[in-house]
Amino acid sequence: MSTDSTRTEMPWTTRRLMQWITEFLTQRKIESPRICAELLLAHVCQCERTRLYMEVDRPASADELARLRALVRRTGLHEPVQYVVGESWFHARPFSVDRSTLIPRPATETLVELAVAWARARAHNYDPVHLLDLCTGSGCVVVSVIAALVTPRRGVAEPPTAPLQATAVASDLVAPAIALATRNATRHQMHTHIQFRVGDLYEVLHADEVGAFDLIVANPPYISDAEWDECPANVREYEPASALRGGGDGMRVVTPLVWQAAKWLKPGGRLFVEIAASHAAAARALVQSCADLAFCSVHKDHEALDRVLVADRRGVA
């Protein structure tokens, strides 16, 4: 889409732009080039992706072409398209993203689904649910869990559910990430349910919060040094290493997170931690080394990879 080409008699319609962007990104070995093309076009046209296919012959304006050209160029240099458009979808909701934290991934939706299912099953007499989310990043996990609990569901495909009372504390070591998470909570009207705090793991908690949480969820950095070297360039060069790298064995953050979890959980409370698929055995051994935790399982994600460590605080609720 050169400057000269925009002056030809043939207009740059949505159909033509979709084809050109897809081919351009394919040549540069960008993953999922068609989806990237849709995301870029929908962002510039300020519409839903489905709308693109309803108006395939709509010509782009000169301003739209200029903006699109710049965004396609960035994407062609392997900058993640989510950062380019400033948004990523997670658990059927759009979340604002920036380079202060990692991009939400579908595998992490397993963490949300497990936490929601457990909280609903445990909510005897609709008692309030209190959640702690560590390494919150964009806030996608805590916002998704709280939203699922406090919002009644009346869908046909799934049984209806009544709303629960749910509150949360969410923390992250990176202050800009907490600012981003706060914006996302406000965007989805969950800000009144969640307290966001800046700090490292449990250091943000207060003395009166010992044994206060029904469940703890976390998606901590867990990529080992060896696995980091194998990550795609768009991950290593653009996403923050502090949100992804977990030290030599990948367990640098996971270990203290698990060791200290029992102190903050109610008796019978549950811990959910996203882990690397290669760390399942190490994660199980870690839980078994904690006297106050009982190992439950390592749950697989939607790609059948070991993904979520599940453990209970010993004792009766």
- Compute the CA torsion angle 89, 95, 98, 102 (nearest 10 deg): -60
Alpha-carbon distance of 180 to 113, in angstroms, equals 23
The residue behind tokens 């394919």 is: 26
Q: What is the mean pLDDT of residues 138-167?
A: 83
Name the DSSP class of 43: H
- Token pair recorded at residue 28: 């540069």
pLDDT beyond 60 at 257: yes
* pLDDT tens per residue, range 188-216: 999 999 999 999 999 999 999 999 999 99
Query: If you average pLDDT over each of 43-57, 153-167, 181-195, 221-235, which comes out highest?
Result: 181-195
pLDDT beyond 70 at 158: no
CB 308 within 8 A of CB 274: yes
Considering Cα of 31, then 71, then 49, then 111, what sign does the dihedral take?
Answer: positive
Residue 10's pLDDT is 83
Alpha-carbon distance of 270 to 317, in angstroms, equals 11
Q: How far apart are the first and last CA of the chain?
A: 63
Residue 183 gets the label, from left (phi > 0), alpha (psi -120 to 50) or beta, of alpha
pLDDT beyond 90 at 20: yes
- Compute the CA torsion angle 240, 260, 317, 111 (nearest 10 deg): 20
Alpha-carbon distance of 313 to 317, in angstroms, equals 9
Residue 7's pLDDT is 47
- Token pair recorded at residue 282: 């190490």
Ordered domains of the chain (ranges, CATH): 5-85 (1.10.8.10), 87-313 (3.40.50.150)
pLDDT beyond 80 at 180: yes
pTM higher than 0.75, yes or no?
yes
Alpha-carbon distance of 162 to 305, in angstroms, equals 32
Residue 179's pLDDT is 97
Which stretches within the chain are classed as H helix? 14-27, 33-45, 49-54, 62-76, 81-85, 109-122, 140-150, 175-187, 225-229, 233-238, 254-259, 261-264, 280-288
Burial status of residue 240 (CB atoms within 10 A of its CB: 0-12, 13-18, 19 or more): middle
Q: What is the mean pLDDT of residues 52-73?
A: 92
Could you give the C-alpha distances from 2 to 17, 59, 234, in angstroms and in order?
12, 16, 25
Question: Strands 306-313, 293-300: parallel, antiparallel or unpaired by DSSP?
Answer: antiparallel
- Token pair recorded at residue 150: 């406090």
